[in-house]
Structure 1
């Protein structure tokens, strides 16, 4: 594999002196082969959960290099760049052959963007699985960035998406809630198909996603579906709610940010879709390890007190809890893991299970049922108004204005706020909800009409929603 890489780089003038000496100290893949596990080991139960998590943490934290498969390989000028990581044909800044920064190729590992546990402390508290500061924000698929303000209107024109990295804590509970919601919606879809002429309301876990209707010819009408894609799959990850699982999120993020292609999507173990001379960059076992690691990260918590409870009551009264649902409950406690594909069948073809009521996640269990997930979100997309709209050329007007309800657990520690980090304080974030066309404007108005004393009660409550302390300490302190 090393010699293939050397040859490929030499042919396009990207070979640095160090790559000529692949047998020297410091050369070779950063992710050692002996640290990688196989899908078979997971499926056959040969590894403990902690061993799988350890392997996933290494994939999450290792700064990949060219021997691992970092990057897209040589840029083929004969092929148009489709502004996607899938084709492996992105150019690089000033022809450096390594980084692009805008539209991916912007980091060497997941940890670069997911490392801030608390921005409330000074200096920031760092840890594996946190969020990112503004400097780590992803700039997705832009063609134009007007940084010198050629139109003299105070706006730097930009036609991509700007995405501030979210923390990953509590992902297992979030995914389980979404899986059960999807299962409910698929059952309702089948009921509609079996009962033509009946308007079926799409209700799951007290959240309404509009309605569907099947005509006498069997045609499914999804024009009244709200806050979820027409396939009725709840995708809880990403600012837009566009990834159904931690596995899907990881697969896409590894490719976009690092050019590390998972065989599960990119042609199999022998394929070299990005023409960088490296195959099997992220194996099926690697993807399973990192997705299980992310899904078992520690969860945020709440500080209970009388003062905070008064703020919680007002949080409900002004309407914030209409979308930021404090608690979502599940019917089961175990999160099943499956390969990507068929997200509309959330509990089929699974290969591994984790009980989320047990360590390391320890979600509160419900007698005779599942768990409580105190994430403060309904996992539904809403129109956030003109002022918060993105300007991405590859999204229509509705898509540019819609975002999934942000999860507020841990919000005391996670500034900056909003999808692009534009709000530096909680009050700024609340007030930004009040703009033309926003579905959440009424709640922001109600907050503004409160006395300062009552506003502070809500803010004290929000400041009680904290991030986990010393996350994954059981692994990295070994």
Structure 2
């Protein structure tokens, strides 16, 4: 008899499913053709320590199967009594149908939206999702922008390196704060320090001798000095948090580490009759697969003249000032991805809540050998981004300020710099996927991107065309 290994032990599917669909269907769940996702619970214990290549490959295989799975009622799909909110929140009125376009669940699988040009990729306009303003205000059924912000699907290739960069940058920013406070106490004087990490500036911090800190001059980062590298607004801390959020919002699949009895007092918080829908091990498998997805690359199409145009376009990319935000590469000290990570808060496992973290060595991946390194041996992650939030509108150009709601205290017209690696494979563009060409999204840049946009707009058509040729060489090769 097949069963699911959960963190609390091995629990029979008949027990898990009995409340919802009765004994006969629970027996059916044990048949080899049963409509359930067999990758759920396939790994019985949390991974710990440094995983070997074989162990990592096994975990990744399970993660890929979960990412591509179409979840079913036997798995626990749907959330009739719960909203999409990050904080576990009950619905005001139970919803009868499983799928609901705005507040979700809105997809059968992760791959339904993350599929361009392959599993783990981006999505077209048709896969757009709807994000609520806060942590609990997510019980709505309208496309009206007063209730939600429409967002496109980003690709996940290279996401593990992005999170590793964010962790190193966060540690360095917090170290600057600690050093400033120590100096202020020792000298009994006010100390003002620039917040800079990996060449990216995040404003200033002022430490007082009494141990207080003035944060008025921060720029593009939260007051806790944690870089949150995921989502268009830069508000998701980790792949683990992103995964838990998305599983609940888009599929109605609840993770034990946030929606289980420890936090909600209920083994079936969403009221669908299924408990233990996703264990921490299932989440770890999904994280391992996403964290080790290969990075996008540069590839010049075999078309006469394209290579020369791309070379000219890359030079213009710098000359126009695009690299002020879209930095071609950021240096990374370590390829060791610890899971759980250091910066997640309640409802997402962190490294203080487990006896030992798992270490996924991204350097074990075949594609990692081709990553460039600097003279210090650091990996140069070619993301074309800076992991910083920027104002993207001004009085003349406000196309990217079309949202009515803030998100996690980030103003409506502020977005994190989009990483451009893979941009040649992931149109349409913009945070709503509503710009059909690279030319259109470039011209939509206002605010902090206005100078580069104006330089592009004033350039000769041949120079604009060359820059587009360069951007189209930044592709994802599955």
The bucket for the TM-score relative to the shorter chain is 0.7 to 0.9
- Aligned 8 A contact 1:42 1:52 in 2: no
Match of 2:275 in 1: 279
Supply the distance in 2 between the matched residues of 1:71 and 1:339 (Cα, whole angstroms). Answer: 28
Which residue number in structure 1 is paired with residue 101 of structure 2?
A: 101
The normalised TM-score by structure 1 is 0.82
Q: Which residue of 2 aligns with 1:69?
A: 76
Equivalent-residue separation in structure 2 for 1:273 and 1:39 (angstroms)? 23
Which residue number in structure 1 is paired with residue 147 of structure 2? 159
CA drift of 1:146 comes to 7.3
- Change in 2 beyond 3 A, CA 1:451/1:44: closer
- Report the alpha carbon displacement of residue 319 of structure 1 after superposing the two structures with TM: 0.8
* Higher mean C-alpha deviation, range 444-453 or range 383-392: 383-392
Which residue is equivalent to 2:230?
237
For the residue of structure 1 that corresponds to 2:160, the secondary structure is: helix
2:65 maps to what in 1?
58
Alignment partner, residue 151 of structure 1: none
Question: Does the residue aligned with 1:336 lie in a helix, a strand or coil?
Answer: strand
Structure 1 pair 249–27 and aligned structure 2 pair: CA distance change class (3 A): same
In the other structure, the counterpart of 2:444 is 432
In structure 2, relative to structure 1, the CA distance for the partners of 1:448 and 1:246 (3 Å cut) is: same
Aligned-partner Cα distance in 2 for 1:64–1:89: 22
Does structure 1 residue 330 correspond to structure 2 residue 336? no
TM-score (norm 2): 0.82
Give the aligned partner of residue 133 of structure 1: 124
Match of 1:298 among 290, 294, 304: 294
Partner residue of 1:351 out of 358, 366, 374: 358
CA RMSD in angstroms, aligned pairs only: 3.2
Compared with structure 1, are the counterparts of its residues 216 and 85 closer, same or farther at alpha carbon in structure 2 (3 Å cutoff)? Answer: closer
Aligned to 1:120: none
Gaps of 5+ in 1: 76-80, 118-126, 148-155, 472-478
Matched, 1:405 2:435: no
2:90: which partner in 1? 89
Per-residue deviation, 1:239: 0.7
Give the structure 1 partner of residue 164 of structure 2.
176
Q: What number of residue pairs does the alignment pair up?
A: 436
Separation of aligned partners in 1, 2:121 and 2:113 = 8
Q: Distance in 2 between matches of 1:164 and 1:110?
A: 14
- Indicate if the aligned counterparts of 2:78 and 2:98 stay in contact, CA closer than 8 A: yes
Q: 2:426 aligns with which of 414, 439, 462?
A: 414
Contact 2:102 2:140 in 1 (8 A): no
Hey, what does 1:30 align to over in structure 2? 37
Please state how far the C-alpha of 1:354 moved relative to its aligned partner.
Answer: 0.8
Instruction: Tell whether the 8 Å contact from 2:49 to 2:357 is kept in structure 1 after alignment.
Output: no
With 132-141 and 258-267 compared, the bigger mean Cα shift is at 258-267
**3-state SS of 1:298 partner:** coil
State whether residues 48 and 357 of structure 2, in contact with CA within 8 Å, keep that contact through their aligned partners in structure 1: no
Measured in 2, the distance between the counterparts of 1:303 and 1:213 equals 45
Structure 2, gaps ≥5 residues long = 1-12, 133-137, 185-189, 301-306
C-alpha deviation, 1:265, in angstroms: 2.1
In structure 2, what is the equivalent of residue 264 of structure 1?
A: 257
Q: Which moved more, 1:159-168 or 1:265-274?
A: 265-274
TM-superposed deviation, 1:314: 0.7
Q: Alignment partner for residue 375 of structure 1, among 369, 380, 383? A: 383
Q: Distance in 1 between matches of 2:416 and 2:19?
A: 45
Are the structure 2 counterparts of residues 57 and 37 from structure 1 closer, same or farther at C-alpha, using a change threshold of 3 Å? farther
Query: Quick one: distance in 2 between partners of 1:397 and 1:190?
Result: 25
